[in-house]
Structure 1
């Protein structure tokens, strides 16, 4: 294998950054991209307009196309959480989260404190609740995504499991070296269609599982 030089964002000109991503597969495999580089790629058109991607632990991940049940579930979850949390919170749908210098995921739904204009100049760095809608991505959302969110200190992580028609609630993030990002969740609770659950940050705002499944 040819010699590979790993560069930082400050080392690369715009043209070099574009060439690095498009042509040098060795560097793509061995280096981790930063959020700064990731945004620069979007500006340069390296990432195609309309292409849905996420930056996860320095890797650019192409997101799966959304089918109708997935989209319906995201809308239902957002509506239910808007009622559960009330005023003073923003329900973000498939919007970027700046979790670290090398991670910018776009969870299906995230609840953050404040107003939309609070995030005009920068994406939120944390959330009170993150929800992923899972069908074909179920294994990934249970492993890589769960570990990423636990590492970021997200206390409440929900997976809308479309495969088994239930809600999976992950809580109590802690160090777990065996997990992809070195962190995981201590507690997992399963909720069926007859159950209700309240977010940690809105303990009076119970959500019926049947209301958030498509």
Structure 2
């Protein structure tokens, strides 16, 4: 079953999005409004927190800036005005290396250099299909999908304008973004605060 949506014949824009109630969280993709899942689970937040800690520590004193959701990533096609933008998403973690994308202080305007999504049961298909295609189309250089269920990380990297075959890393592995080869993340440490897999069998 897909995520709940708001519908309007000619689609929504970021200008509409800004006027929706503060207690609601939505993403827009090509003018279609997708409801964000309810508050993430403790396990989801622990994984996001550990990843963000590693990434934020690495980027201290460096030009790139990491952000954790909620953080609006606007992906314009026809122009940068709020009424022209029909796609805005809130990745779990975004890394932005171009300062001009942050200058209006309302999230990121344009594709981040690196995006991470931690999968939840209600959004897994959406993150692996709809958002993967979206990030590829807009040129996100690296897209990570973190799988709590099987304790793995799937990494898509841009190659000649499209994502190459993904790499998959398990609990015995280290991984890192290709643009920052000295940033190494131990997969097992990402899931350190989760119960062992046998407990979920």
TM-score with structure 2 setting the length: 0.78
Larger Rg computed on CA atoms: 1
Counterparts of 1:9-48 in structure 2 under 5 Å? 28-39=7-18, 42=19, 47-48=20-21
1:197 aligns with 2:175: yes
Alignment of 1:12-161 (within 5 A): 28-39=7-18, 42=19, 47-65=20-38, 66-86=40-60, 87-94=62-69, 95-100=71-76, 101-113=85-97, 118-124=102-108, 125-136=110-121, 137-161=123-147
Question: For residue 20 of structure 1, what is the aligned residue in structure 2?
Answer: none
Normalising to structure 1: TM-score of the pair?
Answer: 0.73
Shift of 1:88: 1.9
User: Are the equivalent residues in 2 in contact too, given 1:173–1:185 (CA < 8 A)?
Assistant: yes
Q: 1:38 to 1:81 in 2, by over 3 A?
A: same
Give the SS at the match of 2:74: coil
Give the 3-state SS of the residue equivalent to 1:50 in structure 2: coil
Tell me by how many angstroms 1:35 deviates: 1.8
Long gaps (5+) in structure 2: 77-84, 194-201
Cα distance in 1 for partners of 2:132, 2:179 equals 19
Residue 131 (structure 1) shift? 0.2
Deviations 1:127-172 (A, max 9, x none): 1210001021222111001011111100100011112210010112
Q: Distance in 1 between matches of 2:57 and 2:184?
A: 9
Q: Decide whether the 8 Å contact of 2:177 with 2:183 is kept in 1.
A: yes
Aligned pairs (5 A) from 1:182-193: 185-193=163-171
Helix, strand or coil for the counterpart of 2:166? Answer: strand
What root-mean-square deviation, in Å, do the aligned CA atoms of Structure 1 and Structure 2 show? 2.5
* 1:171 counterpart (150, 157, 167): 157
More helix by share: 1
Distance 2:159 2:23 in 1: 33
